[in-house]
Amino acid sequence: MKPMGPIPPEFAGQQGMLTIGGRAADDLVAEAGSPCFVYDPAIVAARVARFRAALPGVDLHYAMKANPFPPLLAAIAPLVDGIDVASAGELALALTAKAAASISFAGPGKRDAELEAAIAAGATLNVESANEARRALAIGDRLGRTPRLAVRVNPDLELKGSGMKMGGRPSPFGIDAEQAADVVRLIVAGGADWRGFHIFAGSQALDVAAIIETQAATLALAARLAEEAGAAPPLVNLGGGFGVPYFAGDVAVDVERIGAALAEALATRAAILADARFAIELGRWLVAEAGVYLTRVVDRKESRGETFLVVDGGLHHQLAASGNFGTVVRRNYPLAVVGRMGEAASEEVSVVGCLCTPLDRLGDRVALPPAAPGDVIAIFLAGAYGVTASPAAFLGHPPAAELMVGLS
């Protein structure tokens, strides 16, 4: 038997039928069909409120790559100070929910058409190379528009213990810290509206001490680069990296401790950063625990001593839960039988999807209450990197429905 991660606290104490946003899970499946993703924006709003209380005066940006579902984005947009996008498609969607001045566009390999779209709209471009900065300046000249440009820095540090490291090594992301000041000077000399630094060291970090250490080092790096460039940044995006507890043994991030340490660091920041605003960019931490993937059991079978619950969903909808999206060792997300919340587990089963590949395993030898064909399995922490981070076209199965609950 292999352990599962902890069920999020918003659902962990429930008994009987699982409810999401006050709606019974079986009713939601009857309405939307199976499989489906269900999102509760009240959980996101509570996360935002917790962030505001713990980090007053620090801007909050939503990294919409985590979940761009339009109704959810529309609910989140008024709660946050900015939206960070990574494609022209995301930019177009973000512009339906937030003013361009509150949108920033990061990511390597931006095509000229994408640079033009951002400049024409008035969004900030986080440039990833000196060449991209030159192209943006040239496009701004051609359009007769002053581009809003920030420098994305590949820092000479990494976020220790993060699930995905984004700094301290050769990278297609950002401009090496050693070259960043030169690019700032290029941007300023080119007549652009320089918007500051974007410094992202890693993601899915649960080590609070490492996050605190990285934020302090990021502040020092921003000050050093600003001094080298001779230009004070209007904004320093400190990245994010706050993780969520997917697996057994994981512990939720203590945001209050992070906020207290950051407040101390900001109080003693370098003079050149005195007038800067600071932002933290979060995606997963805001939305992961607000989503549940519901999928119906279509078959139960025994094979050489192992019991399989075969469901109508799979990794084509929820790749991350199968262990094939950035994890080195496959571990189990939290699962439940939706009509048996709070019941003691009585059997060991593997929950597998409908795809013709052995990779399609959503729960590997987990302990669950009894389940049979027709029952519905819930996979938690499905609010981030689900639908849009999964190979939906693989084998031609239909897409999963998405719905948002809890808002009148």
Q: Residue 346 burial by CB count (10 A; 0-12/13-18/19+): exposed, middle or buried?
A: exposed
The two three-digit tokens of residue 167, written as one number = 């700094």
User: What is the model's pLDDT at position 159?
Assistant: 52
CA distance 11 to 19: 8
CA distance 137 to 28: 50
User: What is the model's pLDDT at position 328?
Assistant: 52
DSSP 5: P
Which of 305, 284, 290, 307 minimizes the C-alpha distance to 389? 284
Q: DSSP per residue over 341-389, as a string?
A: BTPPP-EEEEEE-SSSSTT-EEEEEEEES---TT-EEEE-S-SSSSGGG
User: What is the model's pLDDT at position 158?
Assistant: 60
The two three-digit tokens of residue 235, written as one number = 């904004």
Domains of the chain: 9-39+289-404 (2.40.37.10), 68-282 (3.20.20.10)
CB-based burial, 203-242: b 16+ in 10 Å, e otherwise: bbbbbbebbbebbbbbbebbbbbbeebebbbbbbbbbbbb
Q: Show the DSSP H helices in 173-270 as ranges.
A: 177-189, 208-229, 255-267
Look at strands 347-352 and 361-368 and give their pairing. antiparallel
User: What is the model's pLDDT at position 287?
Assistant: 98
pTM: 0.94
User: What is the model's pLDDT at position 219?
Assistant: 95
User: What is the model's pLDDT at position 163?
Assistant: 43
Cβ atoms of 319 and 325 closer than 8 Å: yes
Residues of the chain with pLDDT under 50: 161-163, 165-167
Which of 121, 230, 251, 242 minimizes the C-alpha distance to 186? 230
Which of 214, 208, 224, 206 minimizes the C-alpha distance to 159? 214
Other CB atoms within 10 A of residue 66 CB = 24
What's the pLDDT tens digit per position in 149-182?
Answer: 999 999 887 655 444 544 455 677 889 999 999 9
At residue 4, the 3 state secondary structure works out as strand
The two three-digit tokens of residue 168, written as one number = 């301290």
**Helix-then-strand count for the chain, H and E:** 11, 21
User: What is the model's pLDDT at position 329?
Assistant: 64
- The number of residues making up the chain comes to 408
CA distance 167 to 181: 17
Cβ atoms of 293 and 313 closer than 8 Å: yes
At residue 170, the 3 state secondary structure works out as coil
Helix axes 255-267, 41-54, angle to 10 degrees: 40
Cβ atoms of 181 and 261 closer than 8 Å: no
DSSP 86: S
Other CB atoms within 10 A of residue 79 CB = 17
